[in-house]
Amino acid sequence: MSVDRGFVDRIRRVVGEQLNQQAAEAEAAGRAPILGENRRMLARKLIGEQVQLLDTEAMNRGAPVLDEDERQELTKSVIAELFELGRIQQYIDDPSNTDIAINGHDAVWLTKRDGRKIRVAPVADSDEHLIEMIQTAARRGRSEQRWDPSSPMLDLQLSSGDRLNAIAWVSGRPSISIRRHDFEIHRLKQLVSLGTLNEPLYHLLKAMVLARFNLIIAGGTGAGKTTMLRCLLNEVPPNERLVTVEDSLEIGLERFGDLHPDHVDLEARHANVEGVGALTMNDLAINALRMNPGRLIVGEVRGDEALTLLLACTQGNDGAMCTVHADSSAGVFGRLQMYLAMTRERFEPEAANLMVAQGIDCILHLAKLQDRTRALTSVREVTGADGDIVMSNEIYGPDRDGRAAPRFRFSEERMHRLERAGFDRRWLDTPGKWYG
């Protein structure tokens, strides 16, 4: 149903002014500020009054009044303009979308969960209107942020938990990218029905978590690394204390409080407009180790936090997990060498490899396949280091379709750990059916 944009803009302006006026009056009178859900409830009341005024005007002209569906759609659109992302919000709310790309107000592309890419209607009246919408969202975020010619890049967490990246003034047109997270997918068993895992791999990965393996989840952009990490974490027993460190909060453990009643999420922070207050991933990882974590989780390793994580893994903090961008499970070793060489200590490859061999148990690699499904492609056991080489066994490797298929056996030491966690080694001899 299309909504009259003239009505939306009119009501948004009037209600916005009324909200600001009532908030100012409450502050002047020393009353509690009108915030959060109270502000939304007040907005709905004021919108209802404006819709009633529209009906009165229509009746005076002899025109039909709005029906119930039109009232609801108009109210929803005004609420989106006042508290959310306007016309963009309908695409954020649609669970069939995975990515939203806006290359100017009238060049809007959606990537669907089945892999299709479609172009949709403009989300603003002009590029200037689009910029104004994003600036308003930046001001009302978790911490107020600037987005203007002096700060042309913006990274913002939305109320939905999704991430928004925006850039303008250094690009031809304002560009907005939104990556949506499907928090409904949060258990390993769901990944079996989706074709990411098969039954034997489900039992293996669950046992790895219970056996407190130190795991790296690797893959390219959009391969499903964060989803896999979330699913693995939700297999951790609820009595364990989890501390997560992320550049942007994406794992979403707060949504699963019944599974993780004792968890802390830490988010890196950029410097403020005065150039102070920055907190890096490594700053937070170091602090996390002082918080008595049962498990340290790093959302994505891409810098000197690699050193802190590996040191934790070699000093008894078992059960750690992280994600890394890499095009194969073996490619993770080169990535970690590069990150450790970037630290203040500038580790040589031999030292970096020794730390990896001592700290990491297994690497899981995911990829987006040609049929547009996401699948686990590799399970690699780290067995040691010899100078420039990290020694490993690819327990599962990609078959002709790119999906993980059995190749080698685990070392007996790790097999015993898996069995103590309840794993039946006969699963390693079971081909398993793929459902993708």
Q: What is the pLDDT along the chain (436 residues), one digit of tens a residue?
A: 577 888 888 888 888 888 888 888 888 888 888 877 888 888 899 998 999 998 898 899 988 888 888 888 888 888 888 888 889 999 998 988 989 999 999 999 999 887 789 999 999 999 999 999 899 888 876 566 789 998 899 988 887 778 899 999 999 999 999 988 888 889 999 999 999 999 999 999 999 999 999 999 999 988 999 999 999 999 999 999 999 999 888 898 988 989 999 999 998 887 666 667 788 889 999 999 999 999 999 989 988 899 999 999 988 889 999 999 999 999 999 999 999 999 888 999 999 999 999 999 999 999 998 887 899 999 999 999 998 899 999 999 999 999 999 999 999 999 999 999 999 999 988 776 665 4
Question: How many C-beta atoms surround the C-beta of residue 96 within 10 A?
Answer: 13
Task: Among 34, 62, 83, give the residue marking a domain's end.
Answer: 83
Mark whether 175 and 211 lie in a shared domain.
no
Mark whether 111 and 164 lie in a shared domain.
yes
Mark whether 126 and 209 lie in a shared domain.
no
Angle CA 396–186–373, to nearest 5: 50
Give how many domains the chain has, as a whole number: 3
Give the whole-angstrom CA distance, residue 5 versus residue 219. Answer: 43
Provide the residue range defining the domain that includes 388: 188-429
Question: How many C-beta atoms surround the C-beta of residue 4 within 10 A?
Answer: 14
Mark whether 219 and 324 lie in a shared domain.
yes
Task: Among 51, 83, 115, give the residue marking a domain's end.
Answer: 83
Note the pLDDT of residue 35. 79
Note the pLDDT of residue 412. 94
436 in a structural domain: no
CATH code for position 382: 3.40.50.300
Question: How many C-beta atoms surround the C-beta of residue 120 within 10 A?
Answer: 15
Q: Which two structure tokens, joined as six digits, stand for 212?
A: 């407190």
Mark whether 66 and 129 lie in a shared domain.
no
Partnered with residue 215 across adjacent β-strands are: 321, 362
Note the pLDDT of residue 141. 61
434 in a structural domain: no
Mark whether 110 and 216 lie in a shared domain.
no
Note the pLDDT of residue 397. 94
Residue whose token pair is 């034997």:
200
Note the pLDDT of residue 274. 64
Task: Among 83, 115, 150, give the residue marking a domain's end.
Answer: 83
